[in-house]
Amino acid sequence: MAVIHHTTLQPTKLELLASWLPTRAWYAGREGGPLPAKAGGFRLDDPAGEVGIEFMAVTDGTGESATTYLVPMTYRGTPLEGADDALIGTCEHGVLGTRWIYDGAHDPVLVGQLYALLRGRAVAQEQSVNDTPDPTVSASLASLASGGTDASGGDVELVRVEEGADHTDVVVRSTGDAAGALTLRVRRVLRAEGAAGPDGAAGAQGIGRVTAEWRLPDGSTARGPYAVVEGAL
């Protein structure tokens, strides 16, 4: 179980994201630069108890021009080998000392636990409360008769990460009995269920998805996919 310490972070996660977001291909931009505000999300536990895992929604802008982005993050006590390009930044934690914060789409621990959530083997946790499941998060993954998904419920290994205009595709390979690969599409630009994307079409349903909530600038709540399993390769 992850322990959430209510202490100081220097710099804060939002300060790090203000510098990091403009470097992403899926960031739409904002006059004057990003001013990200926390808008929701959830956490997952690392079974080994070493890596913090958070899916954070941040809203940039106000009114109808506001955009909400999803940033899955991992927090580590030592650098993740071979992941320099995925480093969001480092900060000083008031209890744990230096923490390396990574874009979690590139972190095998987060990817493994996202898959476990889809398989029903992990439970989404409240973002800021210890040992408290978040009932607003739903997740499911179909088992295909063709073996396109891992019917055995085994683990996955991260194969590669591909950036898109409004998403990040994380290709994983099953280590279970049913061989094959899946694409976990992390929605970087969050849209309410059924909302159209930049091409005018609503997002694909996929063969699995994680659905959660986030807050809009006017105080209302939206709900939509955080991640979608696009299918076997």
- For the chain, 233 residues long, the average pLDDT of each consecutive 10-residue run is 70 96 92 90 96 97 90 97 96 87 98 96 93 95 54 76 96 73 95 68 75 95 95 56
Model pLDDT for residues 71-99, shown as the tens digit of each residue: 999 999 999 999 999 999 999 987 778 99
Tokens found for residue 147: 């073996």
- In order of 74, 115, 127, the CA distances from 109 in angstroms are 8, 10, 18
CA trace torsion 37, 185, 9, 50 (10° rounding): 160
Parse the chain into domains and list their residue ranges.
9-232
Please report the pLDDT score of residue 131 as a whole number. 85
- pTM of the shown model: 0.89
CA-atom Rg of the chain in angstroms: 17
Please report the pLDDT score of residue 8 as a whole number. 77
Query: What is the rounded distance in angstroms from the CA atom of residue 146 to the CA atom of residue 233?
Result: 12
